[in-house]
Structure 1
Amino acid sequence: MSQPMFQTILAERTEAPTGMSDMCNHQSVLSLFARFKQDMAFVEYYSKDYPLCQGKSQEWVASFVILDYLEFLLLLKKELAEDRYIGLSPPLLLEVV
């Protein structure tokens, strides 16, 4: 399964964390993406509260939100690796993911 939308949105991010591109190819992420891009309630939820998602395709919204969540996970991983864990939790909009 290819995910060109992931790569397009990732390329537009000026400071994508190291490892983000590798995570996009992981089977669990691809499965999550496939499920979310078909879920109209998910797309409507994010389109309503994320201004960047308004008027975008289901595939674009699913890619954007999952990339935001992966970015959060990489930040959390970095904090844990540096023994600086400060109790990070995902933003409310990402808790659905």
Structure 2
Amino acid sequence: MLVRIVKLTFKTEHIHEFEGIFEASNELISNFEGCISVDLLQDIANPNVFFTYSHWQSEDHLNAYRNSKVFKTIWGKTKILFSDKPEAWSLQKRH
């Protein structure tokens, strides 16, 4: 299993818009083949910083999603709202 964490920093005026995009897209992502779960977390100290925390059956499943039309559509709407470059980590659970 692969855990994917993505840090997203938004312009403050776009937080509500991003939350709407995520809410509208969450089911599409969750139902994508190989996705086990996806959560959205918000930094308490910096409310314009969000993290997506998702579990995937494998790196191949994650890559299939990242190369899909679903991802490209969601990412196209989201990336224009950033105030900083996104960061991403792919992790393997050890214990």
TM-score, normalised relative to structure 1: 0.28
- The structure where strand makes up a greater share of residues is 2
Q: TM-score, normalised by structure 2?
A: 0.29
Q: In proportion to residue count, which structure has more helix?
A: 1
